[in-house]
Chain A
Amino acid sequence: MPELVEVRTEGMVLNMGPQHPSTHGVLRLLLRLDGEVIKSCTPVIGYLHRGMEKLAEHRTYVQYPAIIDRFEYLTAMFTGVLYAMCAERIAGIEVPPRAIWMRTLMLELNRIASHLFWLGTYLLDLGANGLLFYAMRDRELILNLFEEVCGARLLYSYACVGGVRFDNPPSFERHVREFLKIFLDRIRDYESIVTENPVFLERVQEVGCYSPELALQYAVSGPPLRSTGIRKDLRKDQPYLAYDQVDFAVPIGTKGDTLDRYLLRMAEMRESLKIVEQCLDRLPDGNIRVKLPNVVKIPAGEAYLALESPRGEVGAYMVANGTDKCYRLKLRCPSFNHVQFLPVILLGERISDVMAIFGSLDVILPEVDR
């Protein structure tokens, strides 16, 4: 009788990143592979650590909003506004209504810009390079709007404690309306290239599925959470700024796969357009910031506030102690949780899908590493 011999195969360890064309900045994934199937995955982060939290303890409330933009450079508006809101909440500063509406407007424009960037790079991750340029072209339009208002395209330092730093130039409203007019067409263009494309559908349908329970356990937020059908959107749940006064919907997905996350982001861009339009219509006149002393001191207190950024719940936990610098600032960033979640959902997937899944979470590494 022939003896049964067990064939021993060896797994392969693949170091994906930090030098890899598509690791979204600098992430290193230690993959253990069996053929092309992933047996285990260990993310290694920290290549972009800049000590944002330590810096917060050494910079005043006036200085830090200029620095916090670097925390997450694709959605710099959000982090700046978040920091300012925390300080205002602790100090009980009332922000003028114009600043509130301007912030809302800018956040939504920034959301569209961020989703566009995601769309382009995600399709690039999947191997299509045409859409990247279209998405970047249209993101440029938004960046131009930002540049017009605050003079910078990426790192705006727009919000400050007590309001916003720059008022709109007279041409701003007209330019935003022009953008709104053309952008719906542009979304239709993207969808005609992507949404029904069989190759795209093959790549994203039923890929990277996870259950809502799992997502909640790992504190996943934003589109990756909503794709599983949980309607958690802080703009609705804990309305901040002017979100309780504007009309918009929060779409959710049904299956929790990569396709849902794509569809969600496309739908969110449309909703954001609606919000931008309402903000423009209802933008009140008046001051853009309250007059604060040159040295802003925030009384002792603590607050945890969170915004719904394009990537999910970006939060700041600020502890103030009555001086002009905060005692501790903890930045809670959605990408950190999403990278932590990655090994869980990558198990058993193929190496070709690593980027399809990782990209669909819309992780940005500076935010993870802070």
Chain B
Amino acid sequence: MNLLQSLLNLPEPLMGAIGALLITLGMLPVAAMLVLWERIFLGKLTQRPGPNRVGPRGLLQTIADALKLLTKEDFTPKDADRILFFLAPLIFIVPSFLVFAVVPFGHFGGTHGPVLIADLRTGIFFMVAVFSLHTVGILMAGWASNNKYSLLGGIRGVAQAISYELPLIFSFLGILILSGSMSTVDIIKAQGGGLHNWFFLAQPVAFLVYLACSVAEVNRVPFDIPEAESELVSGFNTEYSGMRFAMFFLAEYVSLFATAAIATIVFLGGWLAPFPEPAVITGSTLGYFFWSAGWFLLKVFTLVTLAMWVRGTLPRLRADQLMDFAWKFLVPVVLVNLFVTGLLALWGRWAVAGGLWLALLLWALYGQSRAAKAERRQVVY
């Protein structure tokens, strides 16, 4: 935004408002595209065509769906808590958009600065704090609907969010040690110089933990217990229809995009290309903008597709197993990771050492797993 700011020379609050507008308007088509892509991709995974009726090759399917949802009757159950019922989708949707305030979508090259609305010094902290807000929306929706399935979904949503918030934040701490800053821009800059400097290599464990937690944060398979449709019909949003359901739906995809964006920033080098960038591109302002934004979006898109791919493959965990997984596995793992990172940071050779640490771990485990292989249960003939 720095470049634009110097060009337009507007007061900062106004620039912020313009940025908010841009994000809100920009995210709507992105979410629509993600919905469509998910359906196409899941279709491909299962040898189906996916949506193919509306528009050329089904490309307008989400628009048709959105129109349908908007024109549907907006239904409020009898005895619902009307105020909370009305507020819940709003509270659910706002944080997903708010996260993008600190997401740098690209860079203008040279000294022009990155493309983002606010370069907060506490960028990562802001993201996590804001992102955990939508749990309130889930609980409100679950409570206000006056439906037992919704209530169970709401309770599960809160329990899940509380459990997964912790390893999620802890998985960032190692990165903060390495980058020495909480600002999203600084974190990306710390990863400059090529693929080998990206933090997912230095912090592989944290990266995997983050991926698991982020899937849990956005309530997707295998962690979609708040809305598990084979158990709770549709969980916390069972009673929502029309526009308000559309808001939940939209927020979920925006959140998915947001978590992928965070992962890109923190672990995959944000807008940076995986190799040292040629000076021709870094020199041109507009050229570098498209180049960097392209890399950023490509990475985000890959992560989002990964989440969709997992959805097409894995079953869902049970609520208590989910908590077990978070508290008894993820939290200790990130703590150990944090400890090791701290030690390595002291030694200063984290990149090499990180790789060795991972290789050693994998090798030890591979030997173990081969030994344990024979224990699989079989039927008796």
Contacts and interface: CB of A to CB of B under 8 A. Distances in A.
Interface string B366-381: 0000000000111111
Given A254-B377, A260-B379, A127 B233 contact: no
Interface string A336-361: 00000000000000111111100000
B379 A350 contact: no
Interface string A173-201: 00000000000000000000101110110
B315 interface: yes
Nearest to B321: A202
Contacts of B319: 36, 350, 352
B46 A130 contact: yes
The majority secondary structure among interface residues of chain B is: loop
B376 A203 contact: no
Interface in B52-100: none
A21 B230 contact: yes
A31 B27 CA distance: 42
Contacts of A250: 381
Interface in A12-29: 12, 14, 20-22
Given A127-B230, A128-B315, A252 B321 contact: no
Contact of B46 (A124, A133, A197): A133
A263 B376 CA distance: 11
Interface residues of B, number: 35
A127 B379 contact: no
Contacts, number: 107
Nearest to B234: A21
Contact of B313 (A14, A22, A124, A130): A130
Contacts of A350: 318-320
A141 interface: no
B68 to A, nearest CB: 20
> 10 smallest A-B Cβ distances: which pairs?
A127-B316, A133-B46, A126-B315, A128-B315, A251-B379, A22-B230, A130-B312, A352-B318, A249-B381, A127-B315
20 contacts: A14-B149, A21-B229, A21-B233, A22-B230, A125-B230, A126-B230, A127-B314, A128-B314, A134-B46, A199-B314, A202-B317, A249-B381, A251-B379, A252-B379, A253-B379, A253-B380, A259-B377, A263-B379, A351-B152, A352-B318
Interface of A: 12, 14, 20-22, 36, 123-130, 132-134, 137, 193, 195-197, 199-200, 202-203, 229, 249-255, 259-260, 263-264, 267, 350-356
